[in-house]
Amino acid sequence: MQIDREDDSATWIVRLTGEHDLATVDALREQFATVPGDESLIIDLSDTSFLDSSILGVIVEAHSRSAEAGGRFGLVVPDGSCAARLVELAGLSDRLPVYRSRAEAVAAT
């Protein structure tokens, strides 16, 4: 897991890599807590090889926190990725702003 700022902007990018499940959910919550709620948050699932519903729950929590604080939010889920099917099955693509690339998400937030 990696958290970065986009250049000198107020956009934070959390990039998940590898596998994430109940074992990593607390670390992910801690990472999201470091991002000011009123700033833009992009969660990039491009390099995620596995995630479960507990991680999706934390992503929904991060979106809600961002929305309540007036921040912007984006979820990067490339077509054909392991995350794409799970996000679609969970109905998150209808509830969250989902983008197919990081560049698209940065431009929108």
What is the CATH classification number for the domain harbouring 40?
A: 3.30.750.24
How far, CA to CA in Å, does 27 sit from each of 80, 99, 105? 26, 24, 23
Dihedral of alpha carbons 97, 101, 102, 106, sign: negative
pLDDT digits (tens, 9 = 90+) for 29-73: 988 888 888 989 999 999 999 999 999 999 999 999 999 999 999
Q: How many domains is the chain partitioned into structurally?
A: 1
What is the residue range of 96's domain? 2-108
pTM: 0.90
Specify the range with the lowest mean pLDDT, choosing from 16-25, 29-38, 42-51, 78-87.
29-38
